[in-house]
Amino acid sequence: MERLQKVIAHAGITSRRKAEEYIVNGRVKVNGKIVRELGTQVGKNDMVEVDDVPIYKEEYGYYLFYKPKGVISAVSDDKGRKVVTDYFTHIKERIYPVGRLDYDTSGLLLLTNDGEFSQKLTHPSHEIDKVYVAKVKGLAKKHDFLPLTKGMKIDGYKTAPAAFQIISVDLKTNTSIVELTIHEGRNHQVKKMLQAVGYPVQKLKRERYGDLTLKGLRPGEYRNLNKKEISVLMNQSK
């Protein structure tokens, strides 16, 4: 069961706020009867009409996608570049990415058409671990990364404490592989954090989101989230 205004908004008729106005003004019917109560709950089998026109209630879809490098985290691009939804052409739901990964960053990205799910996961208060693996310039030394664990000032804001692990160091190429775990998702945050401690990022991949991993997927492939995974994500979000 869902709130009536949410069902109307999700059908693409109008915004949720406008949908509330429609309900109060008597423009909405449920099973043939005008409903003016904003808290009204409707189920899959209920017939909802706006101005006597039945609405199409789209099923929710939840997908875990292995975003390749060089793809935009959007549903369209005015420069004609490839976007993540280009990989979902046969999916009937009008899905969109939850948050974003940079154009040149690969890895785990969620897509859905459930606005409440997306809003919960992208809210600044959520505390879901996001694990990134970065190839950085320089020979990584543990003490250089300690400021990340306390939070640091970037672009006028202080980051939340992060966790790190130095995976490997390559003397020949003067590069290192570093794992960074954060809770936030600001624009270019991981790159800026590593740059700030003296290790410019050359390559970046998001390996994990909460308990979700890329296991079994190759770049450009996706799978459906199961009910347990969806529930865990919703419960991890505040």
- Bridge-based pairing state of the strands 105-112 and 201-209: parallel
Amino acid (1-letter code) at residue 23: I
The count of C-alpha atoms lying within 13 angstroms of the C-alpha of 199, restricted to the half-sphere facing its C-beta, is 29
The residue to which tokens 């794992």 are assigned: 179
Short-list 58, 70, 62, CA closest to 222: 62
Q: DSSP character for 59?
A: P
Strands (E), 43-95: 48-50, 53-54, 62-67
Is the Cβ–Cβ distance between 190 and 202 less than 8 Å? no
DSSP annotation of 25: T
Backbone angles phi, psi at 84, to 5 degrees: -60, -35
Catalytic residues: 102
Contact 88, 111 (CB under 8 A): yes
The Cα–Cα gap between 111 and 29 comes to 31
